[in-house]
Each structure stands twice: as C-alpha cells, then as structure tokens.
Structure 1
Amino acid sequence: MAVVWQRQMGGTCYQVRRHGASVRLYSNGIFHSQWNPRDPLKGSLWELLLLPAFFLPPRKIRSVLVLGVGGGAVIRLLQQFVEPECIVGVDLDAVHLSVARRYFGVRGAELVCADAREYVAGSLAATKQNSYDLIVDDLFGHNEREAERTVAADLDWCKSLLQLLAPDGLVVSNFGSRREMITSGWRRTGLREQLANWSAEMPQYENCVLTVSRRPLAMTDLVTRAPGAINPQNPRRRLKCRLRRL
C-alpha cells in the first residue's frame, strides 16, 4: 500500500494511501474512509451507512445531511446509488474536506467546515426544520489511536436531528459499540416508542449502526431495492451484516 500524500498538523498525522484503485484516509493511524470508484461495494463499514437508504422508495431521498465527512466515502456511495438532488457534508476538520475533494473526488456536494453541533443549532435557528430526507450521523474522531464519537448522542442531540428530518425521513447513526447505541438518547423511554428502529452490525467491527424513522420500515422493502452486493437476502453479497428490528 503506497502513501501518496502525508501532512503533519499539530498533533495529527494525515495520510492518504492507495491500494490498487482504492484510496484510503488515515488520521494518526485511524482508518477513516475508503473509496474504490471501480468497485465501490466491497462490504465496508461505510456501506452499512448506505444500506438503510433502501428502506425508502427510489427518488424519495432528495436531500441529505452528512455529519462527519471524513474522506467522503458515504457521499460518493449516496451519489452513485441513491442520487439525491442535494448533499450537505459537515466536518470540523478542514484537512478531511480537502482530501475528500482532491483524492476521493467529491463533487456536487456542499462541504462545510464547522462544528456539527453548531451547524445543527444554526440550521434550527434559521427555521430549516424538516429539511432533510436522510441524515447520516457519523461523527468520529480519534483518541490515542482509538476511534470514538465526538458528539454524544444524548436526548437533546437526537431531538435536534429529528427536527431537521423530513416527516418520512431516516436518521442513520454510527456508534462505536452496541452498548453505546443502547445507552444513547435514541433508546430513551418516550422517544424510542415514537420511532421505527433497526440496528445493523458487522462481525469484523464493534460498530453498531442505528436507523430510526417516524414511519414503519419494512425489511421486505429494503431487500427489494438494495443492490445485490449489499442485499441481506443475496447469499453472495459482500456486505456481511446482521440487521435487527428493535
């Protein structure tokens, strides 16, 4: 694997590495993003963030908010397989956004360098409620070479995301573990009963991805629409994951 770009800024060492057609972003050795334009569905964690989009009908997802861009793998996947009209990506790290443009080829999306909490609060103050059909909450940083969430998914955070979500929309939230998901605001009594909840996990990662919606979400819809490489009913799928209704 070749290092094609590297920069040291403060206490962070950024690297972009290539392996064949794949490009990868690392920060202090933490693997943040991967994109392969020739073969985008390879069974990666970022495809687990894409999969819930297929609960909804084609063209239903017109506007997307991605909180935590990294190298932009999720944005590239959404553009190729969902084709929303508008994607806004928010990341506190300007280097990540530069890498997303230069090495991951992110185009046609609005990339904003901002604190996600401030961006969400500002959007609500600007009366942008019900603005997004899909919100991807993938806010991870690193602490001593360990990836961890940078914004706690407490009850206030979850309610704020719901205010930005269209009535039929989805929030897809990445957690470092199932325990972290279960103790989040999404699972608090009084909120969880109002929402459809699905969790997804992969055997090679501790991460747990939660999907919530105000509307019922049917597995039959997802397996009808999802591409074969990530379709849970395809025995030859590349994305090996466990989906559970909560």
Structure 2
Amino acid sequence: MALIWQKQVTHAGKTTQYEVRNAGRTRRLYTNGVFHSQYSPSRPVAGSVWDLLLLPAFFHRPGLINRVLVLGVGGGAVLKQLQYFLQPEVIVGVELNPVHIQVAKRFFKVTGDEFELVCADALEWLEQYQGPPFDLIIDDLFGEEGGEPCRAVAADEAWCALLKKHLMDSGSVAINFDTPELMQRCFWLAEHAADPKALSKKSPATNDHLPADWWQQVYQLSTPLYSNCIALFTQQPTPRHEFLENLRQFKELDESRTTCKLNYQLRRVR
C-alpha cells in the first residue's frame, strides 16, 4: 500500500504522525500507526468495522433518514457510505482533530452541500447545539492509547441523556465500543437502568429518556475481523427480515450475491 501523504504535528510536547495510503482507489488514514478509516468509491463496502456503523440506518424505511449526526469523523468513511446509499439531506460530522477534517475533505472527498464538517469537541458541541434533532446519531468517538484505539467518551448516564436529547422520537443511536464487555457497561444496558425499582427512584423527566426499556429494539453488530461491536438503540420496530430486505435493495449489500463484502453478525439484545 503506497504512501501518498504524511504530516507530523507537534502540540503541547506531543508529536502526532498522520499518513494516507492507497491501493488502487482505496484510501486509508493512519494516525500514529492506528488505522482510522478506509474507503473506496468503487467498493463502498469493505467488510470492515465501518460497515457496522452504516447498517443501523437500514432499520429505517428507505427515504426516511434525512438528518444524520456522526460524532468522530476520522477520514469520513461512514459519511461517504451514508451519502452513497441513502443520500440524507444533512450529514453533520463533528471531529476534534482538524487534520482529520482536512484529510476527509482532500483525500476521502467528503464534500458537497449535504456535508457539514465541524471541528469541535463532541461533548461541548452537543451541549451547545440548539438545532433540529437527528434521525440517526452515530457515536464513533475514539482516541488512541498505547498505539491502540480506545473510546474517548464513556457511555454513561450523562452522555446517553445528551444523545437522546438531540434524537427524533423515531430515531436510532449507534455507538461503537472497543469490546462487547465495554458495550455492556453502556448506561442503557447496565442492570440498574433496566431495574424497575431503580427507575422508580428517578424523576419522571429522567425516565422519559434514559431507561433501556424505552427503546423499541436493541441490537449488537459485530464482525469476526475486529473486537469492536456496535450497539444499536432504535425506536424503529422493524423486524430482522425487513432490515435484510432493505439491504437487498442495493447490490453491494445483498448477501445473496457472491460480490457482497458484508461480514457481520447481528444479535438481538432486547
């Protein structure tokens, strides 16, 4: 895989190395050696973890995903997938790293009127946001520790409440976790969140948007290639067979075709 661009940035005594590599039309972003994003316009499905972030959108009926919020842009792979398959009216990407935004625009071609890329801390941005809610929120907030990717924001009660605050009543939230064990610590899946006795001690306002049983469905998406898993919390009642039918509308997502690169497992959690 050829190196086509690199940049070294030193800030507060810490040096970060960025690289963009390609193989044919496929582009990959590495930050300090950590693989952040991959996308090819000729093969929008790569059989990788980024596909898992796209799949929750197909629990919605075609044409009903109009506003998407992506927290953690990286190189912008999932933003390009959303544009390719669903053409939402608005895709807002919030990214703390200005170099990642530069790479997303220049090398991954995250350009067009539907894209709004914001360089900001996702927590601060969400706390200050006063615009219309979103049909789908994708939380892919990862940093790097010891050369390995790790979640940047804990999926605790406060974070889950903030996500829910900016979601349409019929919306979905997809959260990327390092491992299934970390996913189980998410507030919406923690035992106390589903404990009626614990819930009864909370205020009615809190009950409206925090309990796990508020969601119509909860799924786990995973791939054997990575330890990551995606938790999908959705207010869509779409059964699995309709989800699969929605995928089959696109040849790249039709698993009956030998050319389909999807490689995932879907498990109902609640």
Moved more, 50-59 or 212-221: 212-221
- Retained in 2: the 8 A contact 1:43–1:230? no
* Uncovered stretches (5+) of structure 1, i.e. residues with no partner: none
Query: How many Å separate the matches in 1 of 2:167 and 2:91?
Result: 14
Shift of 1:194: 1.3
TM-score (norm 2): 0.86
Whole-Å Cα distance in 2 between the matches of residues 87 and 40 of structure 1? 17
> Structure 1 CA distance, aligned partners of 2:174 and 2:76?
16
1:132 matched residue in structure 2: 134
Once the two structures are TM-superposed, the CA of residue 214 in structure 1 deviates from its matched residue by 2.7
Whether the aligned pair in 2 keeps the contact of 1:228 and 1:234 (CA below 8 Å) is no
Number of aligned residues:
241
Asked if the contact 1:24/1:32 (under 8 Å) is kept, the reply is: yes
Q: C-alpha separation between the residues in 1 aligned to 2:257 and 2:26?
A: 25
Q: 2:239 aligns with which of 208, 218, 229?
A: 218
Give the Cα–Cα distance (whole angstroms) in 1 for the partners of residues 228 and 46 of structure 2. 17
The answer to whether the Cα contact below 8 Å between 2:251 and 2:257 also exists between their aligned partners in 1 is no
Q: Distance in 2 between matches of 1:18 and 1:155?
A: 40
Higher-Rg member (1/2)? 2
Q: Which runs of 4+ in 1 moved over 2 A?
A: 214-217, 227-231, 233-237
Equivalence map 1:1-246=2 (5 Å): 1-10=1-10, 11-108=15-112, 109-123=115-129, 126=130, 128=131, 131-188=133-190, 189-190=193-194, 191-195=211-215, 196-226=217-247, 227-231=250-254, 234=256, 236=258, 237-246=260-269
| Distance (whole Å) between structure 2 residues aligned to residue 235 and residue 71 of structure 1 | 28
* Per-residue deviation, 1:209: 0.4
> Displacement, 1:12?
0.9
Report the 3-state secondary structure (helix = DSSP H, G, I; strand = E; otherwise coil) of the residue aligned with 1:185.
coil
Shift in Å, 1:42: 2.2
Distance 2:157 2:253 in 1: 31
Q: Displacement, 1:58?
A: 1.0
Which letter maps to 2:213? E
Paired residues of 1:47 and 1:230 also in contact (CA < 8 A): no
Distance 1:101 1:19 in 2: 19
CA deviation after TM superposition for structure 1 residue 147, in Å: 0.3
Residue aligned with 1:106, SS: coil
| Partner Cα distance (1:200, 1:35) in 2 | 20
Q: TM-score, normalised by structure 1?
A: 0.94
Give the drift of 1:235: 6.7
1:151-188: CA deviation from partner (whole Å, max 9, x where unpaired): 11111101111111101111111000000101111213
SS at match of 2:225: coil
Equivalent position SS for 2:188: helix
Q: Percent identity?
A: 43
1:228 shift after superposition: 4.2
Supply the distance in 1 between the matched residues of 2:43 and 2:135 (Cα, whole angstroms).
27
Q: Distance in 2 between matches of 1:155 and 1:144?
A: 27
Deviating more after overlay: 35-44 vs 111-120: 35-44
